[in-house]
Amino acid sequence: MTCATAAEFRSGKPKFDGLTTIVTTILLTVVLAGSCAALTAKFDTVFGPVLATRHFSEVAISPDGQRVVWIESRVKNDSEYEHTVYVADVKPGTPPSKVGPGDPRAQNGMSTVTWSPDSQKFVYVVQVGSSERSELRIASADGMQSRSLATFKAMVTAPRWSADGRTIALLSLETDETVSESTRVASIGKNYRRQRLALVDAKSGSVRVLTAPDLFVYEYDWSSDSRQMAITAASCCSDVRGDGDDNWWTAELYRLDVDSGRAVSIFKPRLQIASPRWSPDDSHIAFIGGLMSDFIAPGGDVFVIAAGGGEPRNVTPTLKASVTWLAWTGRDEILTTEIVDGQGAVAVIHAADATQDTLWQGAEGPYSGGLMFALSIARDGRTSAAVRESFDRAPEVWAGTTGQWRQISTVNQDAKPAIGKAESVHWTSDGLQIQGWLLYPQHFSPDHKYPLVVSVHGGPAAAALLHWPAAFDNAGVLSSLGYFVLYPNPRGSLGQGESFTQGNVKNLGYGDFRDIETGVKYVVNNLPVDPRRVGITGWSYGGYMAMWAITQTDMFRASVAGPGISDWQSYYGQTEVEKWLIPYFGTSAYDDPALYAKSSPVLFVKNARAATLFYVGKEDTICPAPQSFQLWRALKHLGVETELLLYSNEGHGISQPADQYDVTKQTVRWFDEHLK
């Protein structure tokens, strides 16, 4: 190890005690020996502004379209972010009002804020002490007054007001209490998490749990008469029914009676469903359906089903895009956000004849706090709010007529991009047109040869989109340091229609990897890239690709593999969400082990030559650490240069600022050592 790791970082080089300290410390040169000093000085100069950026984990517009609430996050210290609730007028001229602390769990599109139907107040969720306790607070529309409405011994998300204004529904996630005679021994697979719908009286704050404990509820929507709900849910919480977190991939669509709590399944899908929404007259329910690898990354076609059940109708059967969010705005109109060829779009789908009108298309969002494009829409169906950002524009809240938004927040107005230009590129692979984003080196000269790093997105059903450089999974920082960076959207990604998203089923690591290889060849053949200095990196499914790539080709000289999969067979028994594998492999690893084996990097490891750095969180239950250990040990046995970084307090996503700093710094170090 040639540079300081997270353990040394926490010991005082540097220490985060607040935003001022962070920015000051990061921008100072850390005095280290040899090449580390130069690396750290250069790295801190470009990464300091990344940590100083404020982000928005949620945005919600009032039904009358006059105000916007958002949750803003900033680095608090080396181990956590601070989240704050703000409210502002849509009309310019009035600064936002600070309401109070926000919920740190409001991430990846998990809603914690909702407006009353009359736009006179809103409620928001606050974490109380541990992550297993929550408070629901109610505030005046201007944010000047707030009080506690209800408390919960549970993690609470997704509050949503009924149309009659009398009730607030929410999702309450509780964990079964541990029953053990020994503090040294845990019985695995017995303490289930149960997510149930609960109703809160908007005046008294009294709480009624609505759904049964053996039905895990993922999403829901009120009917306009406030008497029914459409929910996505799955049976759970026993040896036979399985675990609720894992069962999302088999969730069904239910109609729920609010008075009795009786839930009736009206559709059992072959694949995954998301975002159920009632039509204005309560006669139909729309939802997104398709192959989805992650709850936090919905995408697919739009389907409409009668409220009483029956066969759903696909109203986007020829769409060469992926719908990521929807809302009814008329009897026959469904407003959507879409990923289209790596960009965002807002469109109106006419359910009756399955036609579409595009209202807006561009690369800068819109987001509403999650990974995928989404909006917060007002009652008129024309006014909306969202977060907009790109590689060269820091995130801010925008609101107004959809597609003609005005900037509302200014918290990142001084942020300046420290990266090169970004352009959308296309190439052909196996007869398919593949899209990706290419970042140029910041000070690009056509007379100079540059290294290239490929950054593969997770999922696989997700997409590389234009984001302001993030504190984690940030290959964009390499652009500031003299690299080309390619973000491919190979088959299996969202953005080119459902058949494209399903293009890697029973073929993981083959067609999708060929798309990446041909993308590298396209860049090398058309730009001043040194083919001997090409690297690859990724996290989650991208981590798998960074592992797979080194066993399939000599194209890559170095790899930085975040948490991923090195052996699909052992992974099936290690991950806590094995059911996501069934739609991709068609069966379990026990029923067709050969199918899983053919995509496993460890079985091809003798082909590996690329220097490989692994990093993984010790508490990762999605891509568990043994997957990284297994390939790391194989490379060591074969004499291939390799290192492994294990972050003791991290799960699947590296979430603590000190560790985010370290992961990115170690990534830069590894590529600098092997590609420069």
Per-residue pLDDT reduced to its tens digit, 179-232: 555 667 777 877 889 999 999 999 999 999 999 999 999 999 999 999 999 999
pLDDT in the model for residue 180: 53
Calculate mean pLDDT across residues 519-526.
Answer: 98
Total residue count of the chain as it appears in this document:
676
Q: Cβ distance 44 to 53 under 8 Å?
A: no
Phi, psi of 104 (to 5 degrees): -65, -15
In a domain, 525, yes or no: yes
Number of domains present in the structure of the chain:
1
In a domain, 647, yes or no: yes
Question: Which tens digit of pLDDT belongs to each residue from 277-293?
Answer: 999 999 999 999 999 99
Question: Which tens digit of pLDDT belongs to each residue from 141-160?
Answer: 999 999 999 999 999 999 99
Strand partners, 484: 452
C-alpha separations of 615 from 12, 399, 512, 618, 635 in Å: 22, 39, 23, 10, 15
Calculate mean pLDDT across residues 456-461.
Answer: 97
Average pLDDT, the chain: 92
In a domain, 152, yes or no: no
CATH code (residue 618): 3.40.50.1820
In a domain, 59, yes or no: no
In a domain, 590, yes or no: yes
Separation between Cα atoms, residue 322 and residue 327, nearest integer Å: 15
In a domain, 50, yes or no: no
Give burial (CB, 10 Å; 0-12/13-18/19+) of 151: middle
Q: Tell me which residue range forms the domain holding 637.
A: 417-675
Residue the block writes with tokens 């067709």: 592
Angle at 387 between CA 384 and CA 389, to 5 degrees: 135
* pLDDT tier for residue 469 given thresholds of 50, 70 and 90: confident
pTM of the model: 0.94
pLDDT in the model for residue 3: 59
In a domain, 57, yes or no: no
Question: Which tens digit of pLDDT belongs to each residue from 91-146?
Answer: 988 899 999 999 887 766 688 999 999 999 999 999 988 778 999 999 999 999 99
Q: Cβ distance 131 to 106 under 8 Å?
A: no
In a domain, 581, yes or no: yes
Q: Cβ distance 167 to 227 under 8 Å?
A: no
What strands lie across the sheet with 272-278, from one edge to the other?
Answer: 272-278, 284-290, 301-306, 313-314
Question: Which tens digit of pLDDT belongs to each residue from 382-405?
Answer: 999 999 999 889 999 999 999 999
